Structure 1
Amino acid sequence: MQFGIFTVGDVTPDPTNGRTPTEHDRIKAMVAIALKAEEIGLDVFATGEHHNPPFVPSSPTTMLGYIAARTERLILSTATTLITTNDPVKIAEDFAMLQHLADGRVDLMLGRGNTAPVYPWFGQDIRQGIPLALENYGLLHRLWREDVVNWEGRFRTPLHGFTATPRPLDGVPPFVWHGSIRSPQIAEQAAYYGDGFFANHIFWPKEHFMRLVGLYRERFAHHGHGSPEQAVVGLGGQVFMRRNSQDAVREFRPYFDHAPVYGGGPSLEEFTEQTPLTVGSPQEVIDKTLTFRENFGDYQRQLFLVDHAGLPLQTVLEQLDLLGEILPVLRSEFAARRAAGVAEAPTHPALSARVKS
């Protein structure tokens, strides 16, 4: 079981004092958060990809390459790589390069994106989102596995005798997660290729995502990759902790109430009841996180969102210290409940060899 954090890289005013970080400050804060993640023993740091304000992570591989040079163990991933508006040739090249620089500590999560204006900025049409995702990944999958590719599709110029460089590290492509919050076609795509499926169930009730994960597991087995229980699943979550749960609720409430993605919607109490958001004591975070297994079965990766909605960097670092304290408990409890025959969390063979040596 891998535990980590992800960031969406939002630049949001702090509702308690009205201060808005600069883009420079926010980018540097994301790096500091990644370094703290390695310090406390987390396994994964993932960044989103956005090309519109108020977000800053428009070039995830640039950021992850910088973090790779300053870390030794942390797996570097994306919380979304836009498979619809990025050219699959460039994705193949960028992540293979990052894979070499990070000695295999790289995977990625593909998504379609949900910001309509971004599509025409990159010459695409959001109405073609699903076909774009399916076609582009079909090409990306081949580019990492075939030394010479001949290809023709609907959305880009053909390729004739093309070789993507560099080739994946040791001939093993980065592991791919397909992320979705609503599209069964993406769950089917992940199952067809035997890739991972990431259900970032941070905004909607768990029942919706239980159906998506259930579909993915069923189709994973249908396509001959193993039993439904052997499918590779990742989940999102959100936490805010203080030693005393009342203090956590009191401190986090203004951030929740004024966050662009929450404000004007359900109350904090309603949201914590219906979604994975946990605002409370460390023990409450442990207890609720363990229920995810009851809802979704054994899974391989748990990522927490901890740095959004204008939370200052110091507060986020305090959250990570608390997360580091409960991490051994989460590891041991998930391991004790784990059924036999469940797939291991994905890592590059180079990392497994390093651990054995």
Structure 2
Amino acid sequence: MMQFGIFTVGDVTTDPTTGRTPTEHERIKATVAIARKAEEVGLDVFATGEHHNPPFAAPANPTVLLANIAAQTERIILSTATTLITTNDPVRLAEDYAYLQHLAEGRVDLMMGRGNTGPVYPWFGRDIRDGIPLAIENYALLRRLWTEEAVTWSGKHRTPLQGFTSTPRPLDGVPPFVWHGSIRSPEIAEQAAYYGDGFFHNNIFWPMSHTKQMVQLYRRRFEHYGHGGADQAIVGLGGQVFMRRNSQDAVREFRPFFDVAPVYGHGPSLEDFTRETPLTVGSPQQVIERYAAMADEVGDYQRQLFLIDHAGLPLSTVMEQLELLGGEVVPELRRIADARRPAHVPDAPTHASRVAAAGGGRDMTVHAVDEVTGASPEVAR
């Protein structure tokens, strides 16, 4: 089954139609409400970005937000839309996301990225020129921390480890699934292919020709490394939509938000942007037709996430978008995707499917030992 969901960047943006800017508190609470609504309308995934600067109220540590949402939901997969593998310590990532995995009963995965805010590197004592080497080294260590009980390691960008055990251990002995997110870096597509992980191309600012090129590179290298055929690689795409029953109403209502949006405002016209990127402003049927055609360019893929809560859109409008997305658009896109996908192309990964593929869950709990004798506490007593 293909997964459909939403992702948020957590921007705190003035509503251009009212002049009102939400407080950080309002934006944070609204994000939780949006996630709950996403599950209610039948979406599969809620994902949040990681930011450390205004005008964003996205969490600096996404596990805080996702744990709160996990406590208020039952089914939806909770993901990061970016976990900064470059500036976060792999030890902390291993511990935090394994802990979240337990709290959420496995409904957790990660999207690794380098981030698009240059100053974040010196804020955390890093050099932006080391972006790719940090992504490669830190992720290699993170994998070992999740899959090996006692890790001895040394590298260039952090202090060595000697027999270190990250706790808690991954739920059922299966770490969270990892997507590698990149817009323009072929090295990251290569990294995803090397490990057999997912590749997420957040193509919201790019033409399909570029997206196709990046996905094809990942697919070729996935096959090269022996993980399966190129068409069996695990691919995700980003997207943006704004819908009303009548397409003219959608364009009229969304235009003021687009024109002054912090990310793409004061640039290309709405018409140019919707022609050149996946942004689709129109009726639900127009969204269905455009996104159903994505697979014609990149092949059958496993995850589609939409950005719908940005640019100052009020919460009530976002909730209306979710009703249309979950009630009309996603059911039809899911039907189309399921009908066209060959049997050998895998479904989107879930914790349950990965546990089954591993032959069942295992308790990975590491029990304390006496530092002198090496015996367990019960024996030592």
Query: What band does the TM-score fall into relative to the shorter chain?
Result: over 0.9
Q: 1:266 aligns with which of 238, 263, 268?
A: 268
Query: How far did residue 329 of structure 1 move?
Result: 1.1
Q: What residue is the counterpart of 1:307 in the other structure?
A: 309
Q: Which amino acid aligns with 2:3?
A: Q
2:231 aligns with: 229
CA distance in structure 1 between the partners assigned to 2:326 and 2:269 by the alignment: 28
Distance 2:101 2:22 in 1: 31
Corresponding residue SS for 1:181: coil
Checking the alignment, whether the CA contact within 8 Å between 2:242 and 2:308 is kept in structure 1 is yes
CA RMSD in angstroms comes to: 1.0
Compute the TM-score of the two structures, normalised by the length of structure 1.
0.98
CA offsets 1:267-317 (integer angstroms, 9 cap, x no match) = 111111111111000000000011111111000000000000000000000
Q: Which of structure 1's runs of 4+ aligned residues deviate more than 2 A?
A: 349-353
CA distance in 2, matches of 1:90, 1:228: 33
Matched, 1:328 2:331: yes
- The structure number with the bigger radius of gyration is 2
Of 338-347 and 227-236, more deviation after overlay is shown by 338-347
Q: Encode CA deviations 1:182-239: one digit per residue, 9 max, x unaligned.
A: 0000000000000000000000111111111000000000000000000000000000
Query: Alignment identity in percent?
Result: 74
Q: 2: distance between equivalents of 1:130 and 1:352?
A: 31
Aligned residue runs from structure 1 range 1-357, under 5 A: 1-57=2-58, 58-326=60-328, 327-349=330-352
Query: SS in structure 2 opposite 1:70?
Result: coil
CA deviation vs aligned residue, 1:242-279 (integer Å, no higher than 9, x gap): 00000000000000000011112211111111111110
**Could you tell me the TM-score, scaled by structure 2's length?**
0.91
Task: Write the letter of the residue equivalent to 2:138.
Answer: N
Tell me the distance in 1 between the aligned counterparts of 2:125 and 2:270: 39
Q: Which runs of 5+ in 2 are unaligned?
A: 357-381
- Where does the alignment leave 5 or more consecutive residues of structure 1 unmatched? none
Greater Cα shift, 7-16 or 343-352: 343-352
Q: What secondary structure does 1:137 align onto?
A: helix
In structure 2, do the counterparts of structure 1 residues 156 and 352 end up closer, same or farther at CA, with 3 Å as the change threshold? closer
Give the letter aligned to residue 37 of structure 1: A
Shift, 1:352, TM fit: 7.6
CA distance in 2, matches of 1:352, 1:19: 47
User: How many residue pairs get matched?
Assistant: 353
Distance 1:114 1:11 in 2: 17
Q: In the aligned structure 2, how far is the partner of 1:324 from the partner of 1:4? A: 9
1:122-181 CA deviation, whole Å, 9 max, x = no partner?
110111100000000010011100001000000000000000000000100000000000
| Residue aligned with 2:70, SS | helix
Opposite residue 38 of structure 2, the aligned amino acid is: A
